[in-house]
Chains A and B, each alone.
Chain A
Amino acid sequence: MAVPGTTRLLPLALVVLLGSLTWLLDRAASIPSSAVAANSDQPDMLVDKATVVRFGEDGQPLSLLTAARVSHLPAGDITWLEKPQLRYTAPGQPRLDVRGERAKSVNQGREVWFPGAVTMVRAASGTQAELTIKGRDMHVLPDTGVASSEAPAIAKMGTYIVESVGFIADSKAETLELKSNVRMSYEPIHTR
C-alpha cells in the first residue's frame, strides 16, 4: 500500500473538507433580513362591492352595510367606505338608514363619521312618523342610536319641514334636538 502521500494526509483532507463545508453553509444561509417595514399607514385590506352583515348575540342581524369599496388601515384600525349604505336594525329602536358619499368607521364600527352629503331616514315607529334628514358631515353612533351634525341640515317629519344648523337625533328616545337658527314650515297636504 505504499501510495505516495505524507502521514498527515487524513487530518489535512478533513480540515479542508470541513472548512469549505462551513464556509459554503455560512454563505448559503445568510439571507438579508426582509427590508419590508410593516408601514401601517398603507391599507392592509381592500374590498370591492362589499355587503357586510353584523349579527348580535341573539343571532339577529344588527347592521347591514353595502359599499362600492372598503379599505382598512391598520393604523388606528380605521375603515374607509365609498358610497356606503348603512341599515341599523338594533332591537328596541326604529330602523335607521344612512346613505352618504363616503364614511369612516372607527373602533369596530361603534362610531361612524359621514363627511360630505348624507341622508338619514329613521323609520316610523308607533308614536312618530318617519323622519328624513338631509345634511352634511354627520356622526352616527349605532349602539346608542344617536346621529348628530354641526352643519346645516333639512329635516322632514310627516308634514313638517325644519331647517337648522346642527342637530342631534336620538333613535332610542325618538327625539330630535335642533341646535341654531331653526326655521320651520308646515306643508299642507294638497287634497286635490
Chain B
Amino acid sequence: MLFRKSLIQEMSWVALGTFFVLLMLIMTTQIVRLLGQAAIGALASSAVWAMMGFAAVRYLPILLSLMLFFSILAVLTRLWKDHEMVIWFVSGRSIMSFIRPILEFTIPVVILIALLSMVLSPWALEKGQEYKEKSLSRQEVTQVAPGVFRESPAADRVYFVENFTGGNGNNVFVQLRRDEKLTVILAEKGGLYLDSDGSRWLWLAKGRSYEGLPGTAAYETLEFENARLRIEAGDPPRSSTSTRATSTMALWNSALPEHKAELAWRLAIPVSALILSLAAIPLAFFNPRGGRASNLLVAVFAYFFYYNCINIAQAWLSDGKISLMLGMWPLHAAALLITLGLFAWRSKLRGS
C-alpha cells in the first residue's frame, strides 16, 4: 500500500510542476505571436488575452501527455538514482509491479486528455475563430494609428494617417474597394467614429476623392469641404470552419479522408499518452554508478519520434496513402510491442 501511495503522490507533484512550466512555455510563444498580430491590427488588442486562453485549450492534450510521460520518467529515474529502486526490488517488487500504480496514476489523466482532444479543443478552435472575427470588426474604430497603414477586416479599406493632433488625423489617405471600382480619398483632416445606433462613420475634411475602374479613363472626381461616409458595421460573413474545428461527431459521420485522418489524430493523443506512460517505466532504467543521463535523452527522442509518426500518419491518411480502415492502429500496435519488448529486456536483466 505504501509503495503505491508514495509513488503516486510524488508523481502527482512533479506532474503539476511540469504542467505549469509547459503551460507557461506555450503561453510565452503564443503571446509573442498574438501581440505581433495585434500590433499590425490583424487582431483586436482587447482580444489578445481571450485568444491566449483558446490557444492554451488547443495545446492542452499534448501538454498533458508530455506531462505524464515526463513526470513518470523523472520520478522513476530519481528512484534509481537514490537507490530506492534496489530496495523495492529486494523487498520482492519486480519492474512489473510498477505497472499497477502507474496505470492508476495515468488512467484518469488519459480520460481527461481524451475529453480534451475530442470535445474541448475543437470547441476552443471554433469559438476562438468566431470571437476573433467578431472582435475585429467591432474594433476597427480605434485602429487608425498615426504613421501606420491599416487594413479593415474585410480588406476592402486601407487607411494611412500621417499624424494625429488632438484626436484628428492629418493628411489622411484612404483606399476603398467596392466590387470592381477603386476609390482613393485624400483629405487634410479625417477620423473614424461610431454614431448613436452603432454604425461606423469615416469623416473627412477639405479633400478630394477619385473613383473609377483601374486602367480606364472613366473616373469620377469629387472635391468636398467635408464628407461623412458610413462604413458597413454588420458582422463579417463567417469563414468556413477548418477541419480542426469541426466537432468530433461531424467527423465521425463524414466520409472525407481528411476528416477521418483528423478523427484518428484526435484518438491517437490519449492512446499514445497511455502507451508512452507504460513505456516510461523501462525507459527510466538508470545506472546510478556514474551512468550519464543518456536514458533521458533516449526517452525524449522516443517521445517526439512517436508523436511525429502520428502527425505523418495523419498526413498520409488524408492523402489516402494508408487505408482509412487501418487508421493509426498499426502505429499504436508497434509502439505497444516495443514497450513490451523493453519490459521483457529490463525484467530479464533483473532476473526476477
Direct contact of A and B (CB under 8 A): yes
- Among candidates B10, B198, B228, residue contacting A1 with C-beta atoms closer than 8 Å: B10
Q: Which residues of B contact A8 (CB under 8 A)?
A: 108
Interface string of A51-79 (1 = CB under 8 A from B): 11111111100000000000000000000
Given A25-B124, A33-B134, A36-B199, check contact A7 B222 (CB 8 Å): no
Instruction: Kindly report which residue of chain B lies nearest to residue A61, judged by CB atoms.
Output: B221
Nearest CB of chain A from residue B312's CB, rounded to whole Å: 29
Given A7-B5, A52-B222, check contact A15 B53 (CB 8 Å): no
Interface string of B288-311 (1 = CB under 8 A from A): 000000000000000000000000
Given A10-B15, A21-B56, check contact A33 B235 (CB 8 Å): yes
CA distance A54 to B217 in the complex (A): 10
Interface string of A32-64 (1 = CB under 8 A from B): 011110110011111111111111111100000
Q: Which residues of A contact B216 (CB under 8 A)?
A: 57
Interface string of A2-20 (1 = CB under 8 A from B): 1101011111011100100
Given A21-B57, A48-B224, A53-B221, check contact A34 B233 (CB 8 Å): yes
Interface string of B204-236 (1 = CB under 8 A from A): 000000000000111111111111111011110
Instruction: Kindly report which residue of chain B lies nearest to residue A28, judged by CB atoms.
Output: B50
Q: Which residues of A contact B342 (CB under 8 A)?
A: none
Q: Which residues of B contact A15 (CB under 8 A)?
A: 112
Nearest CB of chain A from residue B204's CB, rounded to whole Å: 9
Q: Which of A21, A25, A39 has the most CB of B within 10 A?
A: A25
Cross-chain contact B9 with A38 (CB below 8 angstroms): no
- Among candidates B49, B135, B222, residue contacting A47 with C-beta atoms closer than 8 Å: B222
- Interface size in chain A (residues, C-beta < 8 A): 45
Given A29-B128, A49-B225, check contact A59 B16 (CB 8 Å): no
Q: Which residues of B contact A24 (CB under 8 A)?
A: 53
Given A7-B104, A34-B233, check contact A14 B112 (CB 8 Å): yes
Q: Which residues of B contact A11 (CB under 8 A)?
A: 108-109, 112
Q: Which of A5, A7, A10 has the most CB of B within 10 A?
A: A10
Chain B interface mostly: helix
Nearest CB of chain A from residue B138's CB, rounded to whole Å: 7
Cross-chain contact A31 with B138 (CB below 8 angstroms): yes
Q: Which residues of A contact B109 (CB under 8 A)?
A: 10-11, 14
CA distance A59 to B220 in the complex (A): 10
CA distance A34 to B235 in the complex (A): 7
- Within 8 Å of chain A (Cβ to Cβ): is B64? yes
Nearest CB of chain B from residue A25's CB, rounded to whole Å: 5
- Within 8 Å of chain B (Cβ to Cβ): is A127? no
CA distance A13 to B138 in the complex (A): 37
- Within 8 Å of chain A (Cβ to Cβ): is B69? no
- Within 8 Å of chain A (Cβ to Cβ): is B197? yes
Cross-chain contact B64 with A44 (CB below 8 angstroms): no
Q: Which of A3, A31, A53 has the most CB of B within 10 A?
A: A31
CA distance A128 to B99 in the complex (A): 110
Q: Which residues of B contact A34 (CB under 8 A)?
A: 137-138, 198, 233-235
**A-B pairs with beta carbons under 8 Å apart, 16 shown:** A7-B104, A14-B64, A24-B53, A25-B53, A29-B54, A34-B235, A35-B198, A36-B198, A39-B197, A42-B230, A46-B228, A47-B224, A48-B225, A50-B227, A55-B219, A57-B216
**B residues neighboring A (CB under 8 Å):** 4-6, 8-13, 15-16, 19, 49-50, 53-54, 56-57, 60, 64, 104-105, 108-109, 112, 116, 120, 124, 127-128, 130-131, 134-135, 137-138, 197-199, 216-230, 232-235
With A9-B13, A24-B53, A54-B220 known, 12 other A-B pairs at CB within 8 A are A3-B13, A11-B109, A25-B57, A34-B137, A38-B233, A49-B225, A50-B223, A51-B223, A52-B223, A55-B219, A55-B220, A55-B221
